[in-house]
Amino acid sequence: MKQSSLFVVLMFALILACAGGKDSGDGAGEGESDGSGSVNAPAAITDQPTIGGAVIGLDGVVILQNNGGYDLSVTADGPYVFDMKPKKGDAYAVTVKYQSQGNYCCVNNGNGAVGDSAVTNVNVYSLRKVYPHDGMANLNFGNSISISGGTVVAGAEWGEGVNSHPGLAYVFVKDGSAWTQEARLAASDGTNANRFGCSVSLDGDTVIVGANCDSAKGTASGAAYVFKRSGTSWTQEAKLVASDGAIGNFFGGSVSLSGDIAIIGAYRNNAKGDSSGAAYVFRRTSSGWTQEAKLVASDGAANDYFGLSVSVNGAIIVVGATGDDDKGSGSGSAYVFTYANKAWTQEAKLTASDGVAGASFGRSVTVSGDTALVGADNMDSWKGAAYAFRRSFNKTTNKYAWRQEAKLVASDGASGNYTGDYLGWSVSLSGNMAVVGSYHCDTRAEASGAAYLFRRYTDKSGNTLKWVQKAKLSASDGAAYDYFGIDVSISGETIAMGSLFNNTRGSKSGAAYILNSTTPSSLGANIRSMLGRRTTLFIAIGAGVLAIGIIGAVAVIRRRRKSA
């Protein structure tokens, strides 16, 4: 074998021995959660218990401290272990002693007691913080947020624009591990208190921004604005209004974008009674944007607030109606519409299996593929919840059907009117990952807020096994009434979260926080983890056999004999 070929085989064997790549939801690979919050780093080859976990999203240095006296410096993503020898029953309390500028770290599962085995679930998530160059008091930046790939847009509904407080939206793009401001968006005809930026949705190079108090068709009839990016420049492409818009409809209070389709809610529309609500579908063609349909609930009634939340993904639209009364006054519901034969038709009505009066099911909605997630922020005495539904084809009825597959709740949720967490005020979904906002959670201080990351685990056929909480995210500089998590958005493994009352640039100026990845780099993390556990890398060549590995994982390659 030539030396160059041997080197290639050697490196390939090393990768086989060390790597534990990410999976697509069917179980847990090395370096990621198994559903319990632990990171499956290779086990230490020792009888001595250890304390550790993983650092995720780090750019720079974080110094972790255990029990106020044991320090550990971490300089890269991946599993870590404190260099100490705890005994069974010993208490641990892991905190962040120092973090490089630009990192906003939160510790999950930081307190506990050592058991018989290693503690591996003390995970540290490092967030990035962004805010506008011209941030000011009462801007409310981050009241709405949306992410698509390496771009984030956030609304600032009280921003200074063409006139006094018409609202603004800001665009940020990823630059390495940092995020930089690319644009400041304003309505071409903005006027005072239009609330431009009350809702935003981004898909690729197009963003739609709601302005639910615009007066194009009467006071607070509402509008939505579409902007398109070319290079690094954004220009207004269209202003959308309802064909039958009227005073007080609040068209644009919710928006969602998927390719060339936009759905815009008008929850105070009177289509089926006072404030029964409606949602409007617009489509972009070569000739521009045109209204394609007006959606209303088949059983709509006064004060249903249909359209308070909306989401579109391809040919599926979900619309929330928090005032629906199927399971008691204000129990709420969500409606699914699908597109076929050039028409949008109602396919299903979703309600919580344990729905009760006042739950506000439908406060937030999101759809990704065949899965919908619906928030119910007042559920369980204001503790809040989110419900996952999945679509499948029923061969008996020859139709698609939706079924509830999980109720997502926070592991540490709190209840109580004015003191509850309101989990489910905002939701976002990307494949098997879901993020749920809990803006009233007392993580750092009263109502500082949080966002919870959940993951769906499936079998090899894609059938759901379980949804589990993977992380609780919060800002290390969080303060009382920041309302972190007031809106959330996820794209792939990147999460953006609004904090509209953060005081970075003045009282209630607002901020947004971004987690660049939900898992550490698998290959590098596993190598660092194993070497950090004093394991041994070995290479052996002899008798036509190449063996290479790290204790606990060995790859063996035999030389193929040439035929005689």
Tens digit of each residue's pLDDT (9 = 90 or more) over 143-193: 999 999 999 999 999 876 545 679 999 999 999 989 999 999 999 998 888
Average pLDDT over residues 80-109: 96
More confident residue, 3 or 72: 72
- CA–CA gap between residue 367 and residue 164 (Å, rounded): 36
Indicate if the pLDDT at residue 21 is higher than 50.
no
- CA–CA gap between residue 480 and residue 484 (Å, rounded): 10
**Dihedrals φ, ψ of 302, to 5°?**
-55, 140
Pick from 100, 200, 135, 96: which is nearest to 502 by CA? 135
Collapsing DSSP to helix, strand or coil, 226 comes out as strand
- CA–CA gap between residue 546 and residue 558 (Å, rounded): 6
Average pLDDT over residues 263-271: 98
Distances (CA, A) of 363 to 253, 385, 421, 515: 12, 11, 14, 24
Pick from 234, 225, 213, 218: which is nearest to 262 by CA? 225
Number of neighbours of residue 359 by Cβ within 10 angstroms:
27
Structure letter (DSSP) for residue 418: T
The token duo for 271 is 């289509």
Tens digit of each residue's pLDDT (9 = 90 or more) over 367-421: 999 999 999 999 999 999 999 999 999 989 899 999 999 999 999 999 998 899 9
Average pLDDT over residues 340-355: 97
Instruction: Give the chain's radius of gyration (CA, Å).
Output: 26
Average pLDDT over residues 439-449: 96
Identify the helix (H) or strand (E) that includes residue 527: helix 522-532
Q: How confident is the model at residue 29 (pLDDT cuts 50, 70, 90)?
A: very low
- CA–CA gap between residue 210 and residue 232 (Å, rounded): 22
Q: Determine the length of the chain.
A: 564
Q: To 5 degrees, how large is the angle CA 431–CA 435–CA 441?
A: 170
Specify the pLDDT at position 550.
40
Specify the pLDDT at position 47.
60
Give the global pTM. Answer: 0.86
Indicate if the pLDDT at residue 462 is higher than 70.
yes
Question: Among 75-84, 88-97, 333-342, 521-530, which stretch is predicted with the lowest mean pLDDT?
Answer: 521-530
Specify the pLDDT at position 336.
98
Indicate if the pLDDT at residue 348 is higher than 80.
yes
Indicate if the pLDDT at residue 430 is higher than 70.
yes
Average pLDDT over residues 467-474: 97
Question: Among 263-267, 352-356, 421-425, 551-555, which stretch is predicted with the lowest mean pLDDT?
Answer: 551-555
Specify the pLDDT at position 163.
53
- CA–CA gap between residue 498 and residue 21 (Å, rounded): 31
Indicate if the pLDDT at residue 16 is higher than 50.
no
Average pLDDT over residues 341-350: 97
Q: To 5 degrees, how large is the angle CA 543–CA 545–CA 548?
A: 135
Residue in the block written with tokens 């930089």: 180
Contacts of residue 3, defined as CB under 8 A and 6 or more positions apart, other chains included, come to none
- CA–CA gap between residue 103 and residue 95 (Å, rounded): 14
- CA–CA gap between residue 278 and residue 146 (Å, rounded): 23
**Percentage of the chain with pLDDT > 90?**
77
Cβ(120)–Cβ(38) under 8 Å?
A: yes
Cβ(131)–Cβ(510) under 8 Å?
A: yes
Burial of residue 175 (CB within 10 Å: 0-12, 13-18, 19+) is: exposed
Q: How confident is the model at residue 556 (pLDDT cuts 50, 70, 90)?
A: very low
- CA–CA gap between residue 273 and residue 449 (Å, rounded): 36
List b or e across 262-278, with b for residues whose CB sees 16 or more CB atoms inside 10 angstroms. bbbbbbbbbbbeebbbb
